């Protein structure tokens, strides 16, 4: 920093103080009354923005705890983007990699933050399905089912979609909880809890480089599960595929290869 122009040194000193005012002195020659305006402005903007984007996470923490998390975020995390809409991604990265957990932290803290982040990320995603991807009225059993690029599936240890100030789980669920986040044509973002079989079916559809038909995928899944009544499994699976298309988690089918 010794080779930097004097004004840049002052900028670095200004930013360092704003991030950690209790431990870093303000730049020399700046009136504290003026610095206080910037200290409050930066902190309050970040605090309020993240509170809106992580509403459940915010409700679960009192002011002192929440403010402490925001201060740690400002002190420890080096953001890779200046865009406000990408700030939640930076905050999630901070919680995953740099946050110093406390004994009284909720065990589902990071999973809840991820769940809330997904809703925003999906709402602003620039990905889109095209008319060439699939025939929306295509046969899901004879053709190859196609999952929407705006349908994301995640597995969680805790029922994060049900967490609230009146429901706070203290132990993981007995088995993984699968949630599909999906954005429909009207841009509404919704979540659907999946059973493990449907979650695996969507995984097979997503990884279907061989272009298997819906029926072939269901037979493959039945064999994986050692399901005895394959015909009944396929019948039920066909209904599931139709329901997923109705929700726009599947966007249709293309000719099977």
Q: How many helices (H) and strands (E) does the chain have?
A: 9, 5
* Domain ranges within the chain, ordered by starting residue: 6-105, 144-254
| 30-86 pLDDT per residue, tens | 777 887 888 888 889 999 999 999 999 999 999 999 999 999 999 999 888 878 888
| 177-191 pLDDT per residue, tens | 999 999 999 999 999
Q: Are 208 and 217 in contact (CB under 8 A)?
A: yes
Q: Are 53 and 40 in contact (CB under 8 A)?
A: no
The domain defined by 6-105 folds into: DNA polymerase; domain 1 (1.10.150)
User: Residue 244 contacts by C-beta under 8 Å, 6 or more apart in sequence?
Assistant: 198, 202, 250
- Looking at residue 249, the DSSP 8-state letter turns out to be S
The domain defined by 144-254 folds into: Outer Surface Protein A; domain 3 (3.90.930)
**Res 16: pLDDT:** 74
**Res 2: pLDDT:** 57
**Res 9: pLDDT:** 72
DSSP state string for 115-171: HHHHHHHHHH------TTT-BTT--TTTSEEEE-TTEEEEEESS-GGG-BTTB---S
């Amino acid at each position: 920093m010794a080779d930097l122009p004097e004004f840049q040194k002052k900028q670095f000193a200004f930013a360092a103080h704003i991030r950690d005012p209790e431990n870093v002195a303000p730049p020399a020659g700046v009136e504290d009354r003026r610095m206080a305006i910037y200290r409050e402005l930066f902190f309050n903007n970040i605090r309020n923005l993240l509170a809106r984007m992580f509403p459940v996470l915010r409700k679960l923490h009192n002011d002192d705890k929440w403010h402490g998390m925001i201060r740690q975020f400002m002190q420890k995390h080096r953001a890779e983007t200046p865009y406000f809409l990408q700030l939640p991604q930076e905050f999630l990265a901070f919680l995953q990699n740099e946050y110093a957990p406390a004994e009284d932290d909720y065990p589902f803290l990071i999973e809840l933050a991820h769940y809330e982040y997904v809703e925003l990320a999906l709402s602003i995603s620039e990905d889109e399905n095209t008319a060439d991807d699939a025939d929306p009225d295509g046969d899901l059993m004879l053709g190859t089912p196609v999952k929407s690029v705006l349908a994301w599936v995640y597995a969680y240890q805790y029922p994060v979609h049900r967490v609230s100030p009146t429901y706070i789980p203290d132990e993981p669920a007995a088995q993984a909880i699968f949630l599909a986040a999906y954005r429909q044509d009207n841009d509404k973002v919704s979540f659907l809890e999946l059973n493990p079989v449907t979650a695996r079916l969507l995984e097979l559809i997503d990884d279907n480089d061989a272009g298997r038909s819906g029926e072939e995928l269901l037979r493959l899944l039945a064999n994986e599960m050692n399901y005895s009544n394959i015909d009944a499994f396929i019948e039920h699976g066909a209904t599931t595929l139709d329901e997923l298309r109705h929700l726009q988690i599947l966007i249709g089918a293309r000719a099977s290869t």
